[in-house]
Amino acid sequence: MSVTRRDFLAAGLVSAASGVIVPPILAKGVFAAGIDGIHNNRVLVVLQLAGGNDGLNTVVPYADPAYVTARPTVGVKPDSVLHLDSNVGLNPALKGLKSLYDGGQVAIVQGVGYDKPTYSHFENLYVWEYADPARAQTDGWLGKLLGAQLDSQGHPLAGCALGEVSTPPELRASKAAVSVIQSAQSYTVRGGAARAALAPTLYRNTPGIYGALFDQALSTAESGMKTLASGAATYKPAAQYVAQGATPAANSLGSALQLTAQMIVTEPSVKICHVVISGFDTHQDEAARQTALLAEVDTAVSAFMQDLGAHGQADRVVLMTWSEFGRRVSENGSRGTDHGAAAPLFIVGKPVKGGLYGEQPSLTSTIDGGNLKFTVDFRSVYQTLIRDWLQGDPTAVLGASYPELPLINTA
């Protein structure tokens, strides 16, 4: 059966059943070799806890009587908390992160949010993804940073979404080239070897400006696939991302972070990586559900940091967690919690100046009938990472300046 250019255009150039895309056909063109045009060798990994992670059961205000009163069934028992100080501690599922915290490699920013919050998943996702509580921006904050400042050549692997099937909104921007890679094995021409062999002829025989654009897209895709295949052949993980003897599931956070480590170790142009773990919308049975999710996060992030260290890459990488909102102070009638506002986030890595930042919000002086007041604007965290870690211009991304936090070791 013959294959035409129309077949390719209808199906898309690169993908597989597991889901992969490459930069759009109007990307900047054939990228420079090596790391030409890359701002520096620093990498930011963004880990999304999708659904609205319960911050009060993650960084637990165990010494506050109001916590025990508000959460008689879903609250973490004070005697099981991993103490950070005399007031707050980590969920007992986060033993690996506690070890990293004790080693000075975890900063916990408390009470992160913004003024006049929304409690809709879709609206609040937009706020965080576009760094805009007014929800008027059209370019994601990471995409804007990547395309305008960090990657002047449009490298196909400078911005990556790992273990995902579509471009995260925060990486979408008119100037950003982003690759979405669910697995190293699936990053190939859609349709298998036959179409891969035909692609150069079909794409490069198109006349005029569209032929040039197709040629650029194909060259970008071919280079990205070659790089990823080469990295997969040479990279060996130096940590257990899952239980001993098990293989990471295709859709697990461990699998996504192992692929992220491979990208960082083998591809010098990588600048921003995005991974996601879903399931944090815990309206029911929160104790069991959130504990399992946090345990998965703990195992995967701990292994990721160990892996980077073993490969000599730990000085290059900072990881940030975020979730669209926290949860209400009081539990609901289904042994869960409902949509809230402010919550903590984690900044993890060897370059991080560890410790507690911000202020734990009051559990009794609340807003909107029982939600936490924010004490740190989320854009302060973004600004700190843009300026102090990635050495970019935060005002050009955020549209204004925000107070910074001393999260990064600058010495």
Q: What is the pLDDT of residue 101?
A: 98
CA distance 359 to 382: 18
pLDDT of residue 200: 53
Closest CA to 173 of 206, 212, 208, 145: 145
pLDDT of residue 222: 57
> What contacts 165, CB < 8 A, 6 or more positions away?
18, 19, 180, 182
pLDDT recorded at residue 213: 46
In eight-state DSSP terms, residue 375 is S
Task: Say whether 274 sits in a helix, a strand or coil.
Answer: strand
Average pLDDT taken over every residue of the chain: 86
- Regions of the chain where pLDDT drops below 50: 1-33, 189, 191, 195, 198-199, 202, 209-210, 212-214
The neighbouring-strand residues paired with 162 are: 181
Q: How are beta strands 20-21 and 59-60 bridged, if at all?
A: unpaired
pLDDT confidence of residue 30: 38
Closest CA to 363 of 326, 336, 405, 323: 326
pLDDT of residue 223: 58
Amino acid at 126: Y
State the first-to-last Cα distance of the chain, in angstroms, to the nearest integer.
62
Can you give the residue ranges of every domain in the chain? Answer: 5-398
The type of residue at 60 is V
What's the pLDDT at 3? 44
5-398 CATH, one of 3.30.70, 3.40.720, 3.40.1350, 3.40.50? 3.40.720
